[in-house]
Structure 1
Amino acid sequence: MISDDGCELWTSTTGRGEPILCCHGGPGLWDMFGTLDPGPGFRLIRWDQRGAGRSAPRGPYTIERMVADVDAVREWHGLDRVAVLGHSWGAHLGLLYALAHPERVSALVYVSGVGLGHDWHEEFKRKFERVLGERHRRWAELRAMDRDEPEERELAVLQWTADFVADGGRHAEAMATPWFPINYEANAALGEEMRTVPEPELVEACRSLRVPTLIVDGMADNRPRWAVDSLERALPSVTRVRLPGVGHVPWLEAPDAVRGAVTDFLEQYVRPW
């Protein structure tokens, strides 16, 4: 598809039924929802955000532009309103889209997001280093060097291994297949812009959001789940599902639990039957 500013974006639809527009994590990564099963009666609209994956390598890499791209994907698929599901950075993007266009979002599913504040990073770094253990030395070595493409993939797989409680290597390899270059420019630009928005400003905006929201947390996520508490308190219509013993990518570690939570929630508000 072509966005309103002429950027070519890759998009794909899988399944049949009521649409769910997916926003993948990153920033600077690509769609990894290929194994996400939301249950019968739903279809996934997937896409690669600009600058990454199968989409065109061009900016601008701003939150305003990314929100506009979400709307462009919705419009290109011919939808007036749609349920939006986001993971990690994509959960934040989905929330920002709902805040900008609440009339176009029937429901929001916020999976493994990092909340509205910015003070969770130090705890995350400590947990990440502890989980990697002896492998952290190799991770740091790769981070510090000029990397070729195989070393880029090795670094990503090693880093993503820490996002799981069990079978981390296998799940991380699946996430890295197919492999695309990581867009570090987009990652840095969007990460910095997110840090410029004060938490109280986002809390105030969320208080008036009437879009029903499901928060899904893997309680063994290295990113502290208390960081999402202020979001939960601010939203007028919110359900929170906590999955014990599950890490940052819950549909890979606990697919049945995620499918049940998403289906039960969307049946209340989207009603595909």
Structure 2
Amino acid sequence: MFVEINGNQLSVEVLGREGAPVLIAHHGAPGLGSRSEPRASFGRLADTHRVVVFDARGSGESGGAGPFTHEQWAADVDGLREWIGVEQIVMAGGSYGGFISLEYATRYPGRVRALVLRDTAADHAHEELSRVNALASRRIQVDVEKLDRINAGLIRDDEDLRDCWREILPLYDFNYDPANVEAKVAATPYRFATHNFAFAHNIPNYDIKDKLRNITCPTLITVGRTDWITPVSCSETIHSLIPGSELVIFEESGHSPQVEQAKEWTATVRDFLSRVERPAAVPLGR
């Protein structure tokens, strides 16, 4: 369905029963990502939660009215929360969706009952780390010009974005499968203008480490051991700064433990949510 949020049409799907706790999941890779990934991963929780997945402003099938800023994307999440009709949500997101999840938790702290992060970062230091990892890869020899242009937001058009995306996709998974790479290339919706704005304007200024100590909701941080683009050290930084947060590293995963170790990852998220959402015990005599 299409829902107008803050003057822009968003393509939205709602999974699970009415009345269940609401979880809003944000996809990664603006201009490349879509609701298909969070639908596949967080959709597994639709037996216990009302799961809202959507194409963010400027991505997938959603409208492309700007701006494509973190502030606007976080405001769109809150618009969806208001549209679904609840006071608080579980906020979830991986990769760039984790950036927006952290932005939402710091900008709208009273609206978040729990936070679930996957393979993400709290600043732009991962840019240099990922470039080093890409150039050191024994899996492929990366075209440095394409790597640098996609990271700098200097993509010429949607076909160029497809070409640069194909170049770096072999780096993402724990086990490299060329056929899987081509399937991902074919399935990706390309919106180069959104990608360019995010990488040329948002990421160079992204650093919310000083705000993370103000996140008081229960927080789960998950990451794949061989994640090349937001390495384990990025999740360890988040873990060190959010009081009481939990960090789980998946040893046989790259950037997508929700896919590569789906059973273990899903069980980890379920266990976390069952513990933090369990009603507090009422003392005897009350």
* Aligned residue type for 2:25: C
Cα distance in 2 for residues equivalent to 1:79 and 1:170? 42
Equivalent residues of 2:8, 2:63 under 8 A apart: yes
How big is the shift at 1:234?
1.3
Equivalent residues of 1:38, 1:262 under 8 A apart: no
User: Pick from 24, 28, 45: which aligns with 1:25?
Assistant: 28
3-state SS of paired residue (1:2): strand
- Tell me the residue number matched to 1:163: 172
Equivalent residues of 2:140, 2:170 under 8 A apart: no
Cα distance in 1 for residues equivalent to 2:240 and 2:161? 39
- Tell me the residue number matched to 1:3: 5
TM-score under structure 2 normalisation?
0.82
Cα distance in 1 for residues equivalent to 2:145 and 2:107? 38
Within the alignment, does 1:265 sit opposite 2:272 as a pair?
Answer: yes
Alignment map for 1:24-103 (pairs within 5 Å): 24-29=27-32, 30-31=34-35, 32-36=37-41, 37-39=43-45, 40-103=47-110
- Tell me the residue number matched to 1:12: 13
User: Pick from 205, 220, 234: which aligns with 1:214?
Assistant: 220
- Tell me the residue number matched to 1:153: 162
- Tell me the residue number matched to 2:198: 190
How big is the shift at 1:210?
0.7
How big is the shift at 1:47?
0.6
Equivalent residues of 1:162, 1:168 under 8 A apart: no
Within the alignment, does 1:180 sit opposite 2:189 as a pair?
Answer: yes
Structure 1: which 5+ residue stretches go unaligned? none
- Tell me the residue number matched to 2:113: 106
How big is the shift at 1:209?
1.4
Equivalent residues of 1:83, 1:270 under 8 A apart: no
Within the alignment, does 1:127 sit opposite 2:133 as a pair?
Answer: yes
Equivalent residues of 1:88, 1:113 under 8 A apart: yes
Cα distance in 2 for residues equivalent to 1:180 and 1:97? 25
CA deviations on 1:173-221 (whole Å, 9 max, x unpaired) are 45445432233x3333333334325x4xx33321121111100010110
Is 241-250 or 263-272 further displaced after alignment? 263-272
3-state SS of paired residue (1:268): helix
* Change in 2 beyond 3 A, CA 1:243/1:232: same
CA deviations on 1:73-124 (whole Å, 9 max, x unpaired) are 111122211101101111010011011111111101010002x233332231
Equivalent residues of 2:30, 2:58 under 8 A apart: no
Cα distance in 1 for residues equivalent to 2:91 and 2:146? 35
- Relative CO higher for 1 or 2, CA cutoff 8 Å, sep ≥ 6? 1
* Aligned residue type for 1:249: S
How big is the shift at 1:146?
8.7
3-state SS of paired residue (2:24): strand
Cα distance in 2 for residues equivalent to 1:132 and 1:43? 42
* Aligned residue type for 1:216: T
Cα distance in 1 for residues equivalent to 2:125 and 2:144? 27
* Aligned residue type for 2:197: A
Is 10-19 or 60-69 further displaced after alignment? 10-19
Structure 2: which 5+ residue stretches go unaligned? 280-286
* Change in 2 beyond 3 A, CA 1:101/1:150: closer
Equivalent residues of 1:132, 1:162 under 8 A apart: no
